[in-house]
Amino acid sequence: MYFVTAAGLFWAAWICNKKWGKHWWLPLSLAALGSLALAASTVGDWMGSIMLMAAQMAAGALGGIFGGGISGVMVLGVFALIGTIVIVADVMVDHTCNKYAIASFVLTPVAAMYAGGIIGSLHGGLRDAGSGAATGLMNALIGG
């Protein structure tokens, strides 16, 4: 159910961004709710596991180059931080076209599920609070 909700919200965000870009808050709100629903879904958990596995491989390669002490959780934390910066920067640069922010909303919260530190905790709190709201919104719109 959460994945269907997320797909519907991302689709609605993309359409709203194309049609009504001047209302910049609407597609970003839909994308944020979609990302929360995706992160709460089983598919989001599956995507997060794959991202963690890839991050652990990248951390092993970086650890071999620079020495030990780099973990996959740290790599995902950096990825989540970069995704958050992309969202904020895209909104600050141009309010009328938010396609990079919407695309970043797909992977950033999923990466933050497995990230540590402040970014992981912040996204985790937002995910837990917002996933029920996103599903409730889609239930109200399409039933279920």
Q: Whole-model pTM?
A: 0.76
The rounded distance, in Å, linking the Cα atoms of 36 and 112 is 11
State the average pLDDT over residues 50-79. 87
Share of the chain above pLDDT 90, in %: 7
> What is the identity of the amino acid at 53?
M
Instruction: Decide if pLDDT at 143 tops 90.
Output: no
Mean pLDDT of 13-34: 82
| Tokens describing residue 23 | 């209302």
pLDDT in tens, 91-122: 788 766 778 888 888 888 888 888 877 877 77
pLDDT of residue 63: 84
Angle between helices 25-40 and 117-142 (to 10 degrees): 100
Please report, for the chain, the start and end positions of each structural domain, with discontinuous segments joined by +: 2-142
